[in-house]
Structure 1
Amino acid sequence: MISGQFVQESEQEEKINDELTSVVVSKSESVFFSPSIKLNSSATSEKRVTILAKTSGEVMPNNVSQGDWVEKDQVLCRLGVVELNRTEVKAPFKGYIERIVKPGNYLTRGQACAVIIELDPITFIAEVPETEIKRVLLNQKVFITLVTGETIESNLSFVSKSASPSTRTFRVEAKISNANGKIRDGITGTMVIRTNKILANKISPSILLLSDKGNLGVRSVEEGNIVKFLPIKIIEDTNDGLWVTGIANQTNLITVGQGFVENGEIVKTADLSDL
């Protein structure tokens, strides 16, 4: 009689298990991850100065041409005039000659002799949306990919505390060493800011679903094989998965069958690693 009772209970348990929905689960681990913020950026020279003549006179030959690099105090324009102490127009800093008056032209007092730009260092500027600015800090690592294909590594040298009234974005800057002038003034690129590390989980987009209230999340199997909905926040979309927050370490996420179960339902589970 006792043996018969055990058999009956076992059959009842198997019948109950057969009535439970089966799902496949996989254990999700939390790891430290540095979310990135991708922004459009452009390069701007540190200085762009128009050098003016202090007197009038004909521009004399001087062996400085458009496109040349010049040193600080190098003579840019030499004028043939009587006021000898004002005949030389000098470079205020080391830089690149963007434009210069050619010999034989006549300059009057106050006219431009040359335009010189300082390209070392050069600064890349981008605008961070107000929704992201709390994650952006001074000295964070940045990677800038130019439209020409080169990638440059640097750090944030400036983070504005004041938003633009028109765009509600915050200006950030990254200075780049540019001794050879390879990076051109005004060139554009994509700036990727690596923000500070946080605990996050990488998941497949295929397991995402919406709750009845419209919240994005995933389903897990908790103690007692009970289904639970976990609201999540996507922090970065990569080629090999989504990085999200809102999932505890070692959580059993439902990877197959999540759309056929309800919160609070008891389910049968199979581990993905065993299949």
Structure 2
Amino acid sequence: MKKFFVILSVIIVLVILVLFSKMRNKPIKTEEIVRTVSYEIVNKGEIKIYQDFYGKIEGYKQTEIFPDVPGRFLEYKVSEGDYVKKDQVVAELDRSIPGVSFEKAKVVSPVDGTVYELSLNKGDFVTNQTPVCMIVDDAKKIAKVTVSSEILGMIKNGTLAFVEVDEQKFDGRVVRVSKYPNNYTNLGSVDVLFYGKGNLINKGCTVKILLERKENVLLVPFESLKNEQEKEYLFIMKEGVAKRIDVKTGLKNEFLVEVISGLNEGDTVITVGSDMVKNGQKIKVR
């Protein structure tokens, strides 16, 4: 009986060894990962490059008002932001001197416009060279911008621009560009004309100016472009497989990239999911 159990044990061990050997030699099946992606068709179109600058708003036509005679300032007859007509009284002065009385001197506006810069106080002595206030043509305004000499050469009169102030956005156009930058600061000035209602004079603003524009060029979404060791590339979709393509690019903005070489119109570029795929990997469209 003891001999029987020994033989049985040996048989069991041999069976286990045979099964283990077969399992080791059996190839392990691995399931290939198929990535889900989105894509865009490569087309020709227009790309624009804008740059933001800090600006300050002035009146397009602004006139400083001076009194005809000297005297002591009495009071303003208007408030800042009021609209006045030509020949309307904006302030009064006391021309009296010890022993001699005069009628109040009236300061009038020579133009129609909106009142700004009421800086005098009662009793201040003024001459005919002291500005009493400023009258501004409130329909048109200028956003004045300072730019570097490199940027200055890229901006032309008539260039499209946008002015953003107080959560408002206005269309504008460049109407003046410095011919030469300042020798010491290497900066130049740019004036952007826009139409905007409201009390905006002397306020800071953001001015977005068009610097470059190209038409009829191959474009891909910015998110599709990758960079590796200073080489730019992207993935196209071909017969259900991701294929890496090295490209040469031109203009770029936050949404689009100009492709100079490496792609053809009609190619299918992978966008969403492009960070997860590898060259030659199977893909499916979401």
Show the counterpart of 1:230: 247
Question: Given the alignment, which residue of 106, 113, 134 partners 1:116?
Answer: 134
Stretch of structure 1 that moved more, 187-196 or 60-69? 60-69
Q: Please tell me whether residue 40 in structure 1 is matched to residue 59 in structure 2.
A: no
Question: Given the alignment, which residue of 88, 91, 100 partners 2:109?
Answer: 91
- State the alpha-carbon separation in 1 of the partners of residues 109 and 127 from structure 2: 17
What are structure 2's unaligned runs of at least 5 residues?
1-33
Stretch of structure 1 that moved more, 148-157 or 22-31? 22-31
Show the counterpart of 1:250: 265
Which amino acid in 1 is paired with 2:250? K
Show the counterpart of 1:160: 178
- State the alpha-carbon separation in 2 of the partners of residues 132 and 208 from structure 1: 28
What are structure 1's unaligned runs of at least 5 residues?
1-21, 262-267
Following superposition, the deviation at residue 173 of structure 1 comes to 1.8
CA RMSD of aligned residues (A): 4.4
Do 1:219 and 1:258's aligned partners in 2 also have CA atoms closer than 8 Å?
no
- State the alpha-carbon separation in 2 of the partners of residues 251 and 168 from structure 1: 45
Q: Report Cα offsets for 1:55-93 as digits up to 9, x if no partner.
A: 344556774455533333333335445798994433243
- State the alpha-carbon separation in 2 of the partners of residues 97 and 227 from structure 1: 62
* Cα 1:234–1:70 shift into 2, 3 Å: same
Do 1:35 and 1:235's aligned partners in 2 also have CA atoms closer than 8 Å?
yes
- State the alpha-carbon separation in 2 of the partners of residues 108 and 130 from structure 1: 41
Do 2:93 and 2:104's aligned partners in 1 also have CA atoms closer than 8 Å?
no
Q: Please tell me whether residue 192 in structure 1 is matched to residue 208 in structure 2.
A: yes
Do 2:66 and 2:107's aligned partners in 1 also have CA atoms closer than 8 Å?
yes
* Cα 1:123–1:56 shift into 2, 3 Å: closer
Which structure has the bigger radius of gyration?
2
Q: Report Cα offsets for 1:208-251 as digits up to 9, x if no partner.
A: 1235xx244446799xxx9752222352013xxx3334245416
Show the counterpart of 1:265: none
Do 1:201 and 1:245's aligned partners in 2 also have CA atoms closer than 8 Å?
yes
Question: Given the alignment, which residue of 145, 148, 152 partners 1:126?
Answer: 145
Show the counterpart of 1:19: none
TM-score normalised per structure 2: 0.60
- State the alpha-carbon separation in 1 of the partners of residues 171 and 193 from structure 2: 10
- State the alpha-carbon separation in 2 of the partners of residues 216 and 70 from structure 1: 61
* Cα 1:65–1:57 shift into 2, 3 Å: same
Q: Report Cα offsets for 1:148-192 as digits up to 9, x if no partner.
A: 2111112222233323445544432222234x5x04222222222
* Cα 1:245–1:171 shift into 2, 3 Å: farther
- State the alpha-carbon separation in 1 of the partners of residues 277 and 282 from structure 2: 16
Aligned-residue sequence identity (percent) comes to: 14
Residue 99 of structure 1 aligns to a residue whose secondary structure is: coil
Following superposition, the deviation at residue 99 of structure 1 comes to 1.3
* Cα 1:204–1:141 shift into 2, 3 Å: closer
Give the length in aligned residue pairs.
236
Do 2:41 and 2:268's aligned partners in 1 also have CA atoms closer than 8 Å?
yes
Residue 185 of structure 1 aligns to a residue whose secondary structure is: coil
Following superposition, the deviation at residue 201 of structure 1 comes to 0.8
- State the alpha-carbon separation in 2 of the partners of residues 129 and 202 from structure 1: 30
Do 1:219 and 1:254's aligned partners in 2 also have CA atoms closer than 8 Å?
yes
* Cα 1:138–1:67 shift into 2, 3 Å: closer
Do 1:62 and 1:78's aligned partners in 2 also have CA atoms closer than 8 Å?
no
